[in-house]
Structure formats: C-alpha cells, structure tokens
Structure 1
C-alpha cells in the first residue's frame, strides 16, 4: 500500500513537472515549473484525504485553488502590460483534478489527460495557425458534421422497422456519420496539402474524399489540350487504389471480427493496384498539376442521399437473400457498386457482424461491388475524358478487373489470416 502511495505521488509529480515545464517555457507569469507539480500533488493528496473524510475535501481544495489564482491575477492586474488570459488558470484547475483522479479513478486515464494537457499547451502556435487558415466554408463543414453526428444521431430510434426488419434509423445514420467523417478528413487534408500536392498526394486525397468525384474531375480536365493524360490517368488510378484502403477501414470499424477473412483478398487486389501505380508513376512525364477545388462532404443533402442509398441497399440485400438466395446478392452488389461502393460495403459488413451473412460470401460481395465501381469509373473516363487518358485508364482498370476476378475464382474458401482482430463493433 505504501509503495502504491509513493508511485501515485511520483506520477502526479511527473505530470505536474511536464505541464509546468511547458508553461515555464511559454513564460507564464502565473504558474510554471514549480507551481504545477505542487498543484497536481495537492490534487492527489486531496484525493487520498477524500477517501477518508468525504468529497468536501476535493471541493474545498478546488475552491481554494481557484481563489488563490483569482487573488494572484488581481495583484498582477495592477502591474503594467498585464495579459488577460485563462489558459494557465484552466490548466491549473485541470491538473488539480488530474491529481485527484490518480487516486479516485484510473491511472492510465489520468496520465493520458495530463500528457494531453501538456501537448495541447505546446501546440498553441500550430493550432492558432490552423484556425487562421479555416475559412467560412470550412467552418460550415465542421458545424454541419457536428449537426450530423451529435445532433441528429442521438435522437434517432435504435430499433428496426419495415420489411425484413433490417432498417434501423440509428444504424443507418451511424453509417452516414462514418462516411461523412472519412470524407471530411480527406477534405481537410486537401485544404492543408491540396494546393501544393503532387500527383501521388493528389490521388491519395482524391481517394479519401471521393474516388468517383476525382475520376470525373480529372477526366473532364483531360480534354484540355494542356493537360497531361498520363497525370490524369495516374491520379484517377491512385484514387481508386486508395478506395480499397477506405473499404478495408470501413469493414474494420463496422465488423472488426471479420477482418481475418475479409481483409486478405481485398488486400491482394490492393497490392496489385499499388504495383501498377508504381509502374505508371515511374513512367510519368514531368508535368505538374494541382487538384481541382473539392466540395464540402458534410452537406446535409449529401448525408441524406447516402443514408437513402444505404437503406435501399440494405433492404435490397435482405430481399435478394430471401427471394433469390446468396446468388441474388451478387446482382445487388454489381448494381450498388455502380452508384456507391461504400453503401454495399457497410451493409455487408453489418450483416456479417450480426451473423446474417457468412464472411466468405461477404468479402466476395464487397469485392464484386468494388470491381463494378472500377468498371463504372472506366466508363466515366470514356464518356468525359479524351481518348488518350481513356486508353491508359482502360488498360490499368482492365488488369485490375482481371486480377479481381482471379481472386474471386481462385481464393480458397474460409481462408483466415491470424491478425489478432476480434470483438464486436
């Protein structure tokens, strides 16, 4: 018991020194390298006392600390060049609570929070720089995602409705949040890197946001006589390659227990595409281009459309399985892949996770949808792009389609890779 006591005090001292070091380096006049360890130790000792004498000890300590800082700020306000700010004060109160939580809560959580406080304080200039770069449209995207994820999602009923009892409003919108979140992460990565991105990064960002939208943009631009057909084909192909990473990520989030079976065949096709992308990259010309302006993926209209597609695909899968058996699911996969491969991926993953579809059929449905989507994008290039870029894209996608069909045909049933993944979403 005595050893645990000293270990807890040592952790409190270390966390206080870490935050105090940062505040001292930032030339805080209120608290620094000596004061923050004292505050954290104060919280830890208050936590020990509260175990024996009650929670009023913690409340009194927090009130005393707040009063002490108020007096210190009042005295400092009489000096010239007084800087009004609450960062150090907020950090001090939080570190007091962290010290107490070391005793009353979980040590790992307290350590993580204390370390996060130090990192957050250290990233002041970086965070301010990011905020300065955020425009009105970017702020709107953030707020729209907040509405989608934190306002709409919690109020939806978490129960099934409709035919086959497969339409769950909460689950449907949860998938919307996942897809919009993935797209939004790519959108902000584009905001940071997009204007100075090269071919590879442009394709990666395009795949994160929307490989289909990227295909349409670059296919249209390929008709410009000054545009490079090799560059356009490479960006389109890289974006489609990244979409496989997106697919595997979606499966990992929704149905992590299926990854040992689902990931290997999808990764095999992804590896083939990476090899092809490298070969094309080595033969590229020296021209450079910037990504076209990307739209906000967090618009409510976009979310509603995807939610509707996801619900339709989920219902179609249930109908096909009931009326046509497993063979009918492949028709749904092909049709769904023409419009949105995310919807069929999430629907299939959910069915695998709850046990309504075996994983061997599941990964095949996802791969069929992905191959259907690749064929659809090749058709888009043929309609919207010039002959040169279409020829290059058709060759690359043709090889991928052939490779994907070989995986579907030759991949052993019930093959599993021991990657140590399990559990439910």
Structure 2
C-alpha cells in the first residue's frame, strides 16, 4: 500500500512538473508553421516518460529514452532554425525528462528544481533586461571575483593556526575577507533595488558595511550643501552604526558561533538604542527635498576588503603577542588603540585568539566592547570635523547613548 502511494506521489509530481513548465512554454509557443516543437502536452508526456522509464528499466532505459528524445528534438530544431535559433525549449524538454526520472527517488527535489526552472523561463524578458541594461561591467566583475573567492580560494585555504604565537589562520582570514565582500554586495544590491525611496538612512546603512566612519564623514560633508536636512543627515550617520553592530556579530559568528553567546546582550542593546535615536531624529521633522543614496561603484570594494583582511592579520598577531607578554590586560590595550581606526579588525583578532584557545570565551566581551567604544569616540571626532558643531550636536549624543546602552547590555549576559 505504501509503495503504491509512493508511486502515485512520484507520478503526480512528474505530471505537475511537466504541466507547469509546459504551460509556460505553451504561452510562448506561437501559432502556425512557425510554432515551437513542444507545448503543454509534450512536456507533460515527456515528464511521465522519464518517470515511467526510471520505474521500469532504471537509468539504462532512461538513457535510451533520452537518446530518442534527442533525435526528435534535433529534427525539430533544424526545421525551426530559421525562425527560432534558440534552444531554450529543447533544453527544457531534456530537463523535464530527467526531472521525471528524478521523481522516482526524490520527488521533492525534482519539484523544487521544476519550480525554479519555470521561474527562469517565465521571467526571461526581465532577466535579459537585467543582464543587458542594468548589470554593469563593474558589478559583473565583482560577482565573478566573489564567486572565485567563495568556490576556489576559501575551500583551498588551510584551517590551522600557523606563525609566531600560533596567531594566524588562513581559513579565518579568507572567510572574513569573503564576508566583507558579501556584505558590501548585499548593501549595494539594496541601494540599487530600492533607490532613493528610503533616502539617506538606507544609503548610510549600506555604506556603513564598508566603513561606518567614512559614512559619517560623508554625511557631515553634505551638511554644508543641505543645511535644512541636518537632522536627516545626523540620523543617517547614526544609522550607519547598525552596520557596525551587524558586522561585529557576523564576524564573531563566522570565526566561532559560540562567541555570540557572550556578546549578544551588548550588541542587542546597542542596536536598539541606535534605531530609536535615529528614528527620533528622522521623524522629528518631515524630510525636506529629495534624498539620494551614497553613490557606489561596483558591488563591493575589493581593495578595502583586502586591506581590512591584512589589518586583521596584523592586529591578530599584535594581540597574540600582547597576550603572551602581558596577559588579558595586553589584549584590552590593543583593542582600545586599534579600535580607534577599525572596530571590525579588532573584533576579528579577538575572535581569532579565542578560537585558537589563547583567550577564554567568557572574557571576550570586554575587549570587543572596548574596541567598539574607542571606534565610537573616533566617529564623534569625525562628525565634528566633517560637519561642524551643528552636525556634531546631533551625532555625538547618539554615539554616547549607543555606547552606554552597549555596556549596559552586559547585565543581560
């Protein structure tokens, strides 16, 4: 009974896949002598053919049926070559045959692939428009670089600690570099997709993933040109800290997920304080005039990601050396001084020390908070220098508030 029910489920899945893809192809089949070779019925029958062949004769019979379908498709393709030089329908027919056979052993997987395939076929024009008109050369290059880093470089990087004081882990460095590139790409996509609807706030959050300090400086420089939007610019500057808290959490989770248990309270409190203060500034007065997102080039800044990765490596080595000579106090001092320049690199070095066993997990919260706090102090200075006293009046209290909230979050642990 169970075998019969399972067979009916697989057959139903195969029929559903064939009809779904066939329905989409039928809409683009055309009419008359120039119509395509396969439509709704052909795709449905082909899916059932693949399922039946796999049930009766296994992979051998499915291969024979694929050869027969290949001959039929080849003849149909050459007959319609002058009208439709594409091979999308022909390849789709082969895929449906294979998916029908897959329904014997994994109907859920076959159905998922079929739905994804139907989506690709249905959104053909939009995908073509995106590839030809919206995707830039720089974005395509960055996508290829990110794929190479994820699929080639990262798997080949050795996962072991090397060098003096056993402080360097190539896998961790590569993972953090890929993470920085991926986060930058996500922010870039958000800005490209949503445009200026959410104004400076969205742009600041997206750009904050690359550098929150630079984002605050950018907003400060805009004050002279748009003095009427000073509160909005101040809110955007504060919102860039959301990217900082997110990156700190992602870095700790990427190096060692257990580290998040020791810092989730401060990160949560800091995030809430940042959001409340920024929203208070944004909605204190309606936005005046159009707002444009920060201009971005490619999907991410490869040079920045590499520089940050090298900085992480140097700071990790320095922290390990300070830990070796001065104990945990040395790590605290290193976190404070390096945090002025970049909280992410300090966080990564602390996480690497904890993963290597040189630093206990339950003491990482203090050096991480010290790094973020010193970085917050440098942001206050940047806000004053770039936007003047009026801009700093809105930004500095927000930085102080989120820093205090972050330290108060230690009580939640």
Q: Which TM-score band (shorter chain)?
A: 0.7 to 0.9
Q: Secondary structure at the match of 2:40?
A: coil
- Give the C-alpha shift of residue 226 in structure 1: 4.7
- Give the C-alpha shift of residue 87 in structure 1: 1.9
Equivalent position to 1:294, from 280, 292, 296: 296
Provide the rounded CA distance (Å) in 2 between the counterparts of 1:35 and 1:71: 15
- Give the C-alpha shift of residue 235 in structure 1: 0.9
- Give the C-alpha shift of residue 358 in structure 1: 4.1
Provide the residue aligned with 2:64 in structure 1: 60
Q: Secondary structure at the match of 1:206?
A: helix
Provide the residue aligned with 1:36 in structure 2: 43
Provide the rounded CA distance (Å) in 1 between the counterparts of 2:342 and 2:128: 37
Q: Give the 3 Å change call, closer, same or farther, for CA 89–372 of structure 1 in structure 2.
A: farther
Provide the residue aligned with 1:21 in structure 2: 23
Q: Secondary structure at the match of 2:16?
A: helix
Provide the rounded CA distance (Å) in 1 between the counterparts of 2:322 and 2:175: 24
Q: Give the 3 Å change call, closer, same or farther, for CA 212–36 of structure 1 in structure 2.
A: farther
Equivalent position to 1:368, from 370, 374, 391: 370
Q: Retained in 2: the 8 A contact 1:341–1:369? A: yes
Q: Retained in 2: the 8 A contact 1:262–1:359? A: no
Provide the rounded CA distance (Å) in 2 between the counterparts of 1:241 and 1:299: 19
TM-score by length of 2: 0.87
Q: Secondary structure at the match of 1:339?
A: coil
Alignment RMSD (CA, Å): 2.7
Provide the rounded CA distance (Å) in 2 between the counterparts of 1:72 and 1:216: 63
Provide the residue aligned with 2:398 in structure 1: 396
Q: What pairs up with 1:114-263 in 2 under 5 angstroms?
A: 114-131=114-131, 132-224=133-225, 226=227, 228-263=229-264
Q: Retained in 1: the 8 A contact 2:11–2:51? A: yes
Provide the residue aligned with 2:409 in structure 1: 407
Provide the rounded CA distance (Å) in 1 between the counterparts of 2:174 and 2:14: 42
TM-score by length of 1: 0.85
Provide the rounded CA distance (Å) in 2 between the counterparts of 1:90 and 1:306: 44
Q: Give the 3 Å change call, closer, same or farther, for CA 138–357 of structure 1 in structure 2.
A: same
Provide the rounded CA distance (Å) in 2 between the counterparts of 1:352 and 1:42: 57
- Give the C-alpha shift of residue 177 in structure 1: 0.8
Provide the rounded CA distance (Å) in 2 between the counterparts of 1:388 and 1:27: 64
Provide the rounded CA distance (Å) in 1 between the counterparts of 2:180 and 2:127: 25
Deviations 1:232-281 (A, max 9, x none): 21111111123323333344444334444432331122112111122111
Q: Secondary structure at the match of 1:224?
A: coil
Q: Retained in 2: the 8 A contact 1:209–1:297? A: no
- Give the C-alpha shift of residue 227 in structure 1: 5.9
